Amino acid sequence: MPEPGDGEVLIKTLYMSLDAANRAWMKGPSYRDAIVDGDVMPTFALGRVVESKDASVPIGSVVEAEGLWSDYFLARAGNLRIVPDVPPLSHHMSILGIAGKTAYFGLLNVGRPKAGETIVVSAAAGSVGNLVGQIGKLKGCRVVGIAGGAEKCSWLVEELGFDAAIDYKSGNLFKDLKAACAGGIDVYFDNVGGQTLETVLFQMNLYGRIVCCGAISQYDTKNPIGPQNLPGLVVVKRLRMEGFIAMDFPEHEARAETELRTWVKEEKLKVIEDIVDGLENAPRALIGLLSGENRGKRMVCVAME
Amino acid sequence: MPEPGDGEVLIKTLYMSLDAANRAWMKGPSYRDAIVDGDVMPTFALGRVVESKDASVPIGSVVEAEGLWSDYFLARAGNLRIVPDVPPLSHHMSILGIAGKTAYFGLLNVGRPKAGETIVVSAAAGSVGNLVGQIGKLKGCRVVGIAGGAEKCSWLVEELGFDAAIDYKSGNLFKDLKAACAGGIDVYFDNVGGQTLETVLFQMNLYGRIVCCGAISQYDTKNPIGPQNLPGLVVVKRLRMEGFIAMDFPEHEARAETELRTWVKEEKLKVIEDIVDGLENAPRALIGLLSGENRGKRMVCVAME
């Protein structure tokens, strides 16, 4: 059991977020240092403070912080955020956590869709994708999801209100997209990169926007093949491709949280959570996430209280 | 000799612009229809009106319009612009024409560099690139050019005031860039795409901007290889890649022209023109442009008056 020093607190892990980013971190240094063999996996975590050496963080507080794949971890008081101790706490990992903010800021601040425009989102049944589609619908857009498997696709349309969903595993992505997006694509929210990005680029409208959220298709590829139509189509169609992470918009955090909370309360937004029990199942659950077995936000429940 | 109909004028071609875009148009439909075998090559042209069937365009006016590779061409009065009949008329093809506006809008409206930032521009000795570098210096940036050959490189530094220039033909682009841009790259003005873009991407700073102006390296490639680090690095570094053409900013045209004219008048900006004489030399001059033999804005002088 680690001992908190001055200004630190000891946190009991309740939930750990599982993200494609965990895999990306192993690829090399990025906005953070690379994770290398022997490191404990870092994670966005929700926990309860069990010991405190900082007056600003009382014992019993529910906090979010960068934690580790472990039952307990230390954090500096300045590096955590106390969140309301209101159930369900798992919402801090999904709709009010990184997934919710990634979808919200990526779609609205980066993609900036106008009502009536067509949005395509890949990994549409995933933690971020399902929210991108639902938020797109709330903003008056036509929304088309790309996901793996017929079952996920019908779920997107029937349960989440997507206008259409395309099974990329069927092998007809180009034709299926063409059929689903007769007027072309205005905003593409890209979670996968690679071949899918290349295919979508051909169908973007003039002044279209590509929200670059992830490139999950590339993380396990030794010699990834870049989209052949880049940057050519960006020039010809005057596209904007832009990367971001959820933490890039601190000045808009409050608005995002209020709006997301309100949508959930008013039942305009469904919160889809995929909770795996037990710390020992984290590795398997991450591998499963990367092969697309989750629906909505996957997280690990390490302890209930 | 074509006959103007009602609302049309007959124009005697004085100058024809040569652009990498001429080649791109042959690749397929883009923001305009594809040029196919048997078509007369379209061109941005400057000419003098010799017959007019529209009261708003007097005979003798100097006009710019989309013309053809020919001594005379027809244009509708609504599709041309009368320009001041002030020498040198060639400036309407270079600094006040598409090259000047492409450099101006691409760098300032799309790239949006701040003073002190580092700008890299490829095809730096070309019609647009040389202006991008000069305008970047006027805005207080550090400017590094990429060009082909040691001679062009020393010309960029000694004559045009670039801080450094790199000969991509030397085969050490990555290392040479690293040496010239120790603090990383904030804005990359990309005229070439391909391998050069891939190399530059690795050295972009967080929140860097890639101005996608052209992909000249790809126009003659059968199976172009996309940059392998796309879209991965766009996500990780939160880059913005954005395409544009000079005509995308009609509301800022007046400001651009005034500012460019002022810089030339005050000798803050050198106008580099590469004028080839004779309509019959246009094909050879275009091929030469695509292999990089020009310095500054290449155009064909079809007639002096």
Residue B20: its pLDDT value, please? 85
Flag whether residue B24 sits within 8 Å of chain A, measured between CB atoms: yes
Nearest CA in chain B to A193: B231
Q: Give the pLDDT band (50/70/90) at residue A42.
A: very high
Q: What is the mean pLDDT of residues A296-305?
A: 95
Which residues of chain A make contact with B34, given a CB cutoff of 8 A?
none
Q: Which of B31, B197, B232 sits opposite A193 (nearest CB)?
A: B232
Q: Which of A218, A232, A241 sits opposite B193 (nearest CB)?
A: A232
Pairwise CA distance, residues A260 & A262, whole Å: 5
Q: Output DSSP code: residue A192.
A: S
Which residues of chain B make contact with A236, given a CB cutoff of 8 A?
24, 30-31, 243
Residue A233 predicted with pLDDT over 90: yes
Q: What is the mean pLDDT of residues B253-261?
A: 96
Flag whether residue A111 sits within 8 Å of chain B, measured between CB atoms: no
Flag whether residue A184 sits within 8 Å of chain B, measured between CB atoms: no
**Closest by alpha carbon to B282, among B45, B37, B26?**
B45
Of residues B84 and A222, more confidently modeled: B84
pLDDT averaged over every residue in chain A: 95
Which residues of chain A make contact with B212, given a CB cutoff of 8 A?
231, 234-235
Structural domain boundaries in chain A: 8-93+272-301, 98-247
**Closest by alpha carbon to A192, among A203, A184, A200?**
A200
Which residue of A207, A212, A225, A249 is the best one to mutate when testing the B interface, meaning the one whose CB has the most B CBs within 10 A?
A: A212
Longest dimension (CA), chain B: 61
Convert the pLDDT of each residue in B115-153 to its tens digit: 999 999 999 999 999 999 999 999 999 999 999 999 999
Cβ–Cβ gap A238/B223 under 8 Å: no
Tokens 């936000």 belong to residue: A297
Residue B42 predicted with pLDDT over 80: yes
Which residues of chain B make contact with A237, given a CB cutoff of 8 A?
31, 243
Q: Is B161 helix (H, G, I), strand (E, B) or coil?
A: coil
The length of chain A, given as a count of residues: 305
Percent of chain B with pLDDT over 90: 89
CATH of domain B8-86+272-301: 3.90.180.10
Pairwise CA distance, residues B73 & B1, whole Å: 8
Q: Which of B213, B228, B234 sits opposite A235 (nearest CB)?
A: B213
Which residues of chain A make contact with B206, given a CB cutoff of 8 A?
31
ipTM of the complex: 0.89
Which of the four CATH numbers 3.40.50.720, 3.90.1150.10, 3.30.950.10, 3.40.50.2000 does domain B98-247 have? 3.40.50.720
Residue A224 predicted with pLDDT over 90: no
Q: Which of A30, A230, A231 sits opposite B236 (nearest CB)?
A: A30
**Closest by alpha carbon to B156, among B176, B132, B184, B130?**
B130
What number of other Cβ atoms are within 10 A of residue A66's Cβ? 13
Which residues of chain B make contact with A196, given a CB cutoff of 8 A?
none
Residue A123: its pLDDT value, please? 96
Residue A222: its pLDDT value, please? 74
Phi, psi of A280 (to 5 degrees): -65, -15
Flag whether residue B232 sits within 8 Å of chain A, measured between CB atoms: yes
Residue A215: its pLDDT value, please? 85
Residue B212: its pLDDT value, please? 97
The length of chain B, given as a count of residues: 305
Residue A226 predicted with pLDDT over 90: no
Tokens 């259409």 belong to residue: A164
Residue B132: its pLDDT value, please? 98
Residue B114: its pLDDT value, please? 98
Name the residue type at position B110: V
Residue B69: its pLDDT value, please? 98
Convert the pLDDT of each residue in B194-224 to its tens digit: 999 999 999 999 999 999 998 887 877 777 7
Which residue of B235, B237, B245, B247 is the best one to mutate when testing the A interface, meaning the one whose CB has the most A CBs within 10 A?
A: B235
Phi, psi of B296 (to 5 degrees): 75, -160
Q: Give the pLDDT band (50/70/90) at residue A225.
A: confident
Convert the pLDDT of each residue in A175-220 to its tens digit: 999 999 999 999 999 999 999 999 999 999 999 999 999 888 787 7
Q: Give the pLDDT band (50/70/90) at residue A20.
A: confident
Task: Specify whether the backbone of A60 is left (phi greater than 0), alpha (psi in -120 to 50) or beta.
Answer: left
Flag whether residue A107 sits within 8 Å of chain B, measured between CB atoms: no
Longest dimension (CA), chain A: 61
Q: What is the mean pLDDT of residues B109-117?
A: 98
Q: Give the pLDDT band (50/70/90) at residue A149.
A: very high
Q: What is the mean pLDDT of residues A275-301?
A: 96
Residue B24 predicted with pLDDT over 90: no
B11: which residues sit within 8 A by CB, 6+ positions away? Answer: B45, B47, B48, B49, B50, B63, B65, B67, B72, B73, B74, B75, B80
Pairwise CA distance, residues B294 & A9, whole Å: 66
Which residues of chain A make contact with B228, given a CB cutoff of 8 A?
223-226
Flag whether residue A215 sits within 8 Å of chain B, measured between CB atoms: yes
Residue A137: its pLDDT value, please? 98
Q: Give the pLDDT band (50/70/90) at residue A30.
A: confident
pLDDT averaged over every residue in chain B: 95
A179: which residues sit within 8 A by CB, 6+ positions away? Answer: none
Q: Which CATH class is domain A8-93+272-301?
A: alpha beta
Instruction: Give the distance from residue A28's alpha carbon to the nearest chain B alpha carbon, in angstroms.
Output: 11
Q: Give the pLDDT band (50/70/90) at residue A32.
A: confident
Convert the pLDDT of each residue in A152-186 to its tens digit: 999 999 999 999 999 999 999 999 999 999 999 99
Flag whether residue A243 sits within 8 Å of chain B, measured between CB atoms: yes
Instruction: Give the distance from residue A219's alpha carbon to the nearest chain B alpha carbon, in angstroms.
Output: 9
Q: What is the mean pLDDT of residues B3-21?
A: 95
Residue A110 predicted with pLDDT over 80: yes
Quick one: chain A helix, strand, coil %, rounded to 5? 35, 25, 40
Q: Which of A193, A239, A243 sits opposite B243 (nearest CB)?
A: A239
Distances (CA, A) of A105 to A97, A115, A128, B192, B237: 12, 17, 11, 32, 16
Residue A218: its pLDDT value, please? 80
Q: What is the mean pLDDT of residues B7-17?
A: 98
Q: What is the mean pLDDT of residues B245-250?
A: 93
